[in-house]
Every structure is written in structure tokens, then in C-alpha cells.
A and B are shown apart, each in its own frame.
Chain A
Amino acid sequence: MDLGQFILMRHELLLTVAALAILVAEIFTSEKNKSKLINFALVLFALVTFIGFIPGETGNLFGGSFQSSQLTVFMKNVLNLAVLIVFLQAEGWLRKPENADKISEYFILTLSTLIGMNFMVSAGDFLIFYIGLETATIPIAGLAAFDKYKSESAEAGIKLILSSALSSGILLFGLSMIYGATGSIYFADIATKVAPNALIALGFVFFVSGMGFKISLVPFHFWTADVYEGAPINVTSYLSVVSKGAAAFIFTIVLFTVFKNIVELWKPMIYTLAIATMTIGNLFAMRQNNIKRFLAFSSIAQAGFILLGILGAGELGMTAIVYFVLVYVFTNLGAFGVVAAIHNASGVETISGYNGLYQTNPKLSWLMTISLFSLAGIPPIAGFFGKFFLFTAAAGSGYYILVLIAVLNATISLYYYLLVIKAIFIEKNEQPIPEFRSSNSMRIALVMCITGVLVTGFASGVFEYIRSISKLFLN
């Protein structure tokens, strides 16, 4: 085997090198200079992200266990970009004295999960897929429990590890049945052998349930709100954007490639899950006052929209999902960034605490408003295009009623997003959050988000590019 082929794994290898470099750098950093590690890690990771965008070869490794295509490379780049924004947003928080001794841990844990996600996206068999999934999940529990002296944070960690252990078990159980029925763990083999019989159906149900936990689809979403609330805000944003985005990618890939011959079996399931996820997520989001719980439920509802793209099977569905996740990265990280900035400056994390924010921090208010409008799918912001293409994909398969339910759900979601906007702009407050200036890296992150949100929709080239690579991938 030619060692040069390892260039196909450049994303994974680069991340591993970066994680190790940070680990080594910590050894050689004195106690006083620990905070310099942050700069080092940021620069290093920015470099890794940049290198990832350089086009390179694609192909298979290890007899098809590891598959690299333009689409998977693009997915990895989206994840990298999201993590870069998360890191930039976390900078101010990491510089706080209570985190001084855990800086490298934060980066290493996050990068480990990212490596897992990258392997997951590139998986060509269920073994790599499962290893990637576990690598992507277990370190997150450590991250969720990052504020170890806060009981909520510790609780979040333990909840996450328990529920993901359970879901992994269920998932494995399902995979074992599929292996039993088809005699293979390779995606390509299973795709040809899979047939709509009882064993496959049962295995598939377990598989979807396991993935349902990861993407937090209703009714597998119970861990989400508590974990999101308890975890530090930058971990929450990571969970809600990167982790969920990666799970959505791999879920789509597996459904579109491995299980494409039993479409009739899984479409009704996804249909039901989509309606339940959108509706329940929305109904719960309405009643939240804690902004993190609020965003948690709103992200559950957003996951429901992603399922619409899965129903629009084929190239357009795939394109719509990847595009939506890309937009979702900018949008949701924009919202989380504002929440994190406010939390860092004033400790406020309730919606009613945002009352009158516009009087003191108009720029931040507009950022939040644009992000929320994008989440609600209001034109001409990127979120509108993301949703529109998902709906177009679903309508292309004839699911008009589902599209109607989804758009009505988008309207409901507008209601609670408007509640936040109302708090910011309209509600009176004697003592609004005082004016503050967030750190430079946070500003850079927010500018990246807002640029993405404003530009992605108009620049149709992004969509067309994703469409062309999705076409290549699926054929």
C-alpha cells in the first residue's frame, strides 16, 4: 500500500497532529503563560481549517472502510469552520481565571470529538462509523462537565454520558441485526443485500432510534434541554451546531447510500419523526425563559426540518441538507455567540434579562435579531434559502402536506423568536444589561457568522457547488 494514499485522510491526520501539538505545547508552557496556549491553539486550528479547504484527491482507503469524496471533504470543512467559530467565541471564556488550568483540555477534547466526527462522515463500513461515533461522543461528556464545581454542569456531563451510552447500545443492537441479515458491515455490500424483511426492519428501527438520540429527534430528545442548560455556553453551542450537524450528515449519508433500497420502509418513519420533532420542539421552545434551554428546543425543531430534506431523497435532498447545515452553522453560532458574549460580560442568561438590550448594545441586538430571523427563515437572510430548499426537496417527493405542516411550524417558531426580539427592542427596563465591548476574537467570530448569514443566500454558487458534489457522491 502506498503511504501517499494517506493524504486522503488529511483532515483526520491534521486534526490529530493539532491535538497532539497542543498537548505537547502544554507540557512546555509554564503556569504563568498558560493563557498563551489559547492563541497558539487558535492560530493552529485556523491553519488546519484553511489547509482543509485546499482541494485534493479523493478515493477509498482500507478496502473501502474509509471513503473520501468531494462531498465528505466539504462536510468536514463545514465542521472545521464551525469549530473555528466556536473556538473564537470560547476565547474570552477560557481566559477567565477559573479555567486557567483546563485550557489545553478544552481544545484537546473538542478536537478529539471532531476527529471522531470526521471519521464518521468518511466511514465506509459500520465499524469505522461506530468508532467515529463513540470518539465523537464520549469526550463531549467531559466538555459538558467542564465547570466541574457547578452541579448543573456535572449533571449535564453525567446525563450526556448515560444517554449516549444507552443510545449507542441501541444503535449497536440494530447494527448487529443488520449484520445478521446481510452478513456484511460494508456499506456497499449492505446496500445491495438489504431487503424489506422483518429483521432488517427491526434493525433499522433500532438504528434510527440510536441516531435519533444523537440528533435529538423527538421522542429521543429528553437529554437535550438539561444538558444544553447545564453545560458551559460554548460547549452548548458546540453540541447544538457541530455535533448535531455531523450526526445529520452521517444519518443522511447512511440513509441515502446504505438503505436506499428500502426507502418505502423508512419514509413513513421519518415522516412521523419529522412532524413530532418540529411540533414538540416548537411547543416547548415557546415556554422557556432560559435562553440556553430556549435555543435547545429551537434546535430540536430545526432538526425536524432537516428530516424534510431526507424525505426529499436523492441529490436535491442531500444538497438541501448540507446547505441547511452550513447555513445553520452561521445562524445558530451567531445566536449562541451573542448569548455567550452577554453571558461573559454580565452573567445574564434569561430572556427577560435581555429586556431593553437595544438601548445599551444596539449592534449586538441587531446581530441577535438577524440570527433569529435567519433561524425563523425570513428572507433575504440565509435561513430562508436553507428552509426553502429543504421544503422544495420534500415537495419534490410529493410531501406537500408535510411541507405545509413544516411551514406552519416555521410560523410558530417565528412567534418565539419574536418574543426574544420583543424583549430586546420593545420591553422597557430600568436597568438593562450595561454597555460592553466583547473581546476581539468574539468580534471576529460574530462577523464571520453575520457575513455567512447575509451572503450565503445571495451567493447561489454555494448551493450549486454542493449540488454538483452531491450528484457525484450519489452516483
Chain B
Amino acid sequence: MWLYRLSSPKLFYHISGRVIPWLFLASITILVIGLFWGLLIAPPDARQGDSFRIIYIHVPSSFLALAGYYFMAGAGAVGLVWRTKISFWFMKSAASIGASMTFIALFTGAIWGRPSWGTYWVWDARVTSMLILLFLYLGVMAMIRAFDNKELGQKNGAILALIGTVNVPIIYKSVDWWHTLHQPATLKLTSDSSIHIDMLQPLLVMIVGFYLFYALTICLFLRAEILQHEQATSWVKDLCVRRLRKSG
């Protein structure tokens, strides 16, 4: 039942206020350790030299881009079933953050592509799938914001996110098939070189760091959403009054 109580915006606001400093500290520390380890200590790749090091941003962000879609759709489903307002706001925050993560993954992939494949962009199966994932995110974001009636927009956004989850495997499979059909002979992206343990360890650290950072940004976005939607309630007004008094 504690989860149900946490869905009260007021309670979530207060608890997250206490958690955020710790989340902030933990994520920044782990990200700094991971970056330091990955960029400076880990050995350079035998074939790609130092250019492979962008993997420490690229892989964690693509992990979160994919996982974030399911977080978003899951929150939308919870909102539709139990009609908790906060899950829709979670969904809205997850949509923006997930879209940014997808963009980061695509962008770092393009930068990485230049030294390793000689071109910024290729229509590889995975690149194309990520691009379509970005489109799906943008569609959900546009849907949530398109309606004057905010509640209706959030509901529709949640339904669209759920439709997307049904379609994601179909889209991925078909893009995969399409790519193997049109495979360009000159280019080999999925080289099956298993990653060395010295390179893997900082990568795992970075993935943990990215997850913590994701939780942190979700909390921050969600708090902003709560304040915006609950601005008419007495506890938000009290909060503002106290804030104003503190700052004089």
C-alpha cells in the first residue's frame, strides 16, 4: 500500500525532496568515476584506438532510451488503470527524458561513426530502429501537448505509448529484416569483438551512473509537473509562501 500512498503528489513531493540530494551526489560521483576510469584508465581499443571511448556515453544512453520507453508506457498504463494523476506526469517526464536519451545515443553514434565507418550516418538496422524510437517518443510528446484538456491529452498520450509498445517489436523485426535484405557489402557494423573486461568494468559503472541520473532527472521533472498541476492547492501555496519568507 505504500506505493499507493506515494502516488499522492504532496507526499511524493516531500519524499523526493529528501531523496534528491542523495541521488544527485550518487549519480554525479559514479558518473565522474566512470568517465575518469573509461576515458583515462581503460586501455585503448586494438583497432579503433581512443575513438572507441565514446562507448561510455553511447551505450548507457541507448540502454536508457530503450528502457525509458517501457518506463513511460508502463507509467501510462498504471495511470489508465488506477487513474493516478502522478503516473501521467511521470509518463510526460519520461517522454521528454527518453527522447533526449535517444537523441544523445543517435548523436554520439554519428560522431563515433565518422572515425570507425568513415561516415556520420548509415542506414544500419540499429541506427534506423533508434531513429524510429525517437519518432515514437516525439509522437507521444506531441500527443500529450496537443490537447487543451490536459487530462485528455495525457490519457491519449498513454494510449499511444501503449500502442507503441505493441508495435516496437514488429518495427524492430521488420527493420532488421529490411537491413539484412539491403545489406551494403562494404560496411560491417556488428563486428562480434567481445569487449575486454578492462573496458567492460567502467562501462557497467557508467550504466549504473546513467540509471541514477535518469532517476534524478525524473524526480526533478516530476516535481516541476506536480507544482504546475497542483498550483491551486493549499499545500503548494503554503510552500510558496514559506519559500518567499525564507528569501526575505
The answer to whether A and B belong to the same complex is no
- A-side interface residues toward B, CB under 8 Å? none
Chain B residues at the A interface, C-beta cutoff of 8 Å: none
